[in-house]
Structure formats: C-alpha cells, structure tokens
C-alpha cells in the first residue's frame, strides 16, 4: 500500500473518532463518574485512617503501615472503593466498545458500506471478492481489530506491507477496504491534528520543566 493510501485511511479513521467523541462521552459518562466518586470516597477513607493512626501514635512508616492493616474500617473501605473504581472503569470501557461497534459495524453494514469518516474519503469495506460483507463478518472484523490495538497497532501496520492494503482484521474477516480519494479540506484536517499534538507536547514539556524547577529549588 502506498503512503498516500495509508494517509487516506488514517485521516478517515481520525475523522470517525472526532464524530464519535460526543457519543463516547455520553455513553461512558455515568460509569466514569461512578469510578470518580468511588475514588473520592476511597481517598477520604485513606485520609481518615491515617488520621486515626496518627492519633494512636503511629508516626513511623512501618508502624503506620501496620496500623492501617489492622484497621478493619479502612480494610472494608479499601475493598469497597477498589471494587467501585473497577466497576466504573469497566462500565465505561464496555460502553465505549458498544458505541464503537454500533458505529462501525452499523454503518459498514448499511448501503454506504462505510463509516462516515470512510465515506468522506471515498472508502468502502467490501469482501475479499469485492461483494457486500454479511453483518456477522463485519462484527468479526470489528472484534478482530482488538489484538491490533493491544499489540501497539502491529495488526494495522500490515497495510503498509501488503499490496492489497489489508490489515490483520481484514485478513481474519475476509474483507478489504476499497476506493479512496483526498478531499481539498483533508490537508487542513491533518494540519489541525498536528497543531493539537504540538500543543499537547508543549504543555507536557512545560509541566515537566516546572516540576524540575520546583525540585531544583
């Protein structure tokens, strides 16, 4: 696959992410807030347990640690808080996965045969033979993309080394992505992404510099 074709695929996917972001935020909001609330309660329990330990004269680190282990109220709060945080995070992740699945599988199963991002760049998901892809195979394609994410996009990187431009999930599901063009506004879209990345890196560098200055003082 050429660098230009890869650029089209990336731009289409990043546009889908932009369009999806409000839906993702809406779907994951409640479970995420439950995780935040559980964390706040756990933090309060930790502070209260440390205060109780101090009142009992446990100031040394080892003594303080032992006191916290023996604090039944703290142990119960720790178990409850940890479970609440885990449940909230898991709920947010599952909600996000459900939104992704409905978006990509639903649109690729529609007459468009493409998500809105892909359609904007003239791309279509088709079978290896060029025909329509059944719904179950589109779902398999979506699920098969998970290892690529977990392996730092190694599965997606296959598109750069294959003439047919098929990624790992395409090979698993027997699909491919056809078509593709570069709209006039696409350069601006990638440019805005570049500016956003530069701004983020600048902010991280500034925070790191401030930390160094504080430590130096």
For 135-147, the pLDDT digits (tens) are: 999 998 888 887 7
Between 147 and 2, the more confident residue is 147
Q: Are residue 188 and residue 173 in the same domain, yes or no?
A: no
Query: Which pLDDT does position 152 carry in this prediction?
Result: 54
Q: Are residue 170 and residue 105 in the same domain, yes or no?
A: yes
Q: What is the average pLDDT across 4-21?
A: 86
Tokens 């004269």 map to which residue?
Answer: 57
Q: Are residue 82 and residue 106 in the same domain, yes or no?
A: yes
Q: State the CB neighbour count (10 A cutoff) for residue 152.
A: 9
Residue 125 DSSP symbol: E
Tokens 């977990």 map to which residue?
Answer: 150
Residue 160: pLDDT band (50, 70, 90) is low
Residue 198, pLDDT > 90, answer yes
Predicted TM-score (pTM) of the model is 0.77
| Rounded CA separation 165/93 (Å) | 29
Q: Are residue 78 and residue 110 in the same domain, yes or no?
A: yes
Q: Are residue 62 and residue 14 in the same domain, yes or no?
A: yes
| Rounded CA separation 95/139 (Å) | 16
Strand intervals (E) in 72-181: 123-127, 175-179
Residue 7, pLDDT > 70, answer yes
Q: Are residue 116 and residue 193 in the same domain, yes or no?
A: no
Q: Are residue 155 and residue 133 in the same domain, yes or no?
A: yes
> pLDDT tens digits for 23-35?
999 999 999 999 9
Q: Are residue 96 and residue 119 in the same domain, yes or no?
A: yes
Between 61 and 189, the more confident residue is 189
- Check if the beta carbon of residue 11 is closer than 8 Å to that of residue 123: no
| Rounded CA separation 167/173 (Å) | 10
Q: Are residue 83 and residue 58 in the same domain, yes or no?
A: yes
Q: Are residue 36 and residue 141 in the same domain, yes or no?
A: yes
State how many domains the chain has: 2
Q: Are residue 144 and residue 203 in the same domain, yes or no?
A: no
Q: Are residue 132 and residue 146 in the same domain, yes or no?
A: yes
Residue 121 DSSP symbol: T
Q: What is the domain range of residue 69?
A: 3-183
Query: Which pLDDT does position 94 carry in this prediction?
Result: 93
Residue 217: pLDDT band (50, 70, 90) is very low
By DSSP bridging, strand 123-127 and strand 175-179 are antiparallel
Ramachandran bin of 71, using left for φ above 0, alpha for ψ from -120 to 50, beta for the remaining angles? beta
């Amino acid at each position: 696959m050429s660098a230009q074709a890869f650029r089209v695929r990336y731009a289409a996917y990043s546009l889908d992410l932009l369009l999806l972001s409000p839906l993702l935020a809406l779907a994951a909001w409640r479970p995420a807030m439950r995780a935040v609330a559980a964390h706040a309660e756990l933090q309060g329990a930790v502070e209260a347990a440390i205060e109780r330990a101090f009142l009992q004269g446990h100031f040394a680190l080892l003594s303080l640690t032992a006191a916290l282990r023996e604090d039944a109220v703290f142990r119960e709060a720790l178990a409850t808080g940890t479970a609440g945080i885990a449940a909230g995070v898991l709920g947010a992740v599952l909600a996000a996965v459900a939104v992704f699945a409905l978006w990509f599988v639903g649109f690729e199963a529609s007459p468009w045969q493409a998500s809105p991002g892909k359609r904007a760049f003239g791309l279509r998901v088709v079978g290896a033979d060029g025909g329509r892809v059944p719904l179950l195979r589109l779902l398999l394609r979506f699920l098969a993309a998970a290892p690529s994410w977990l392996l730092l996009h190694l599965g997606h990187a296959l598109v750069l080394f294959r003439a047919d431009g098929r990624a790992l999930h395409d090979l698993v599901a027997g699909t491919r992505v056809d078509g593709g063009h570069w709209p006039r506004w696409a350069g601006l879209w990638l440019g805005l992404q570049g500016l956003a990345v530069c701004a983020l890196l600048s902010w991280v560098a500034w925070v790191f510099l401030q930390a160094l200055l504080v430590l130096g003082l």
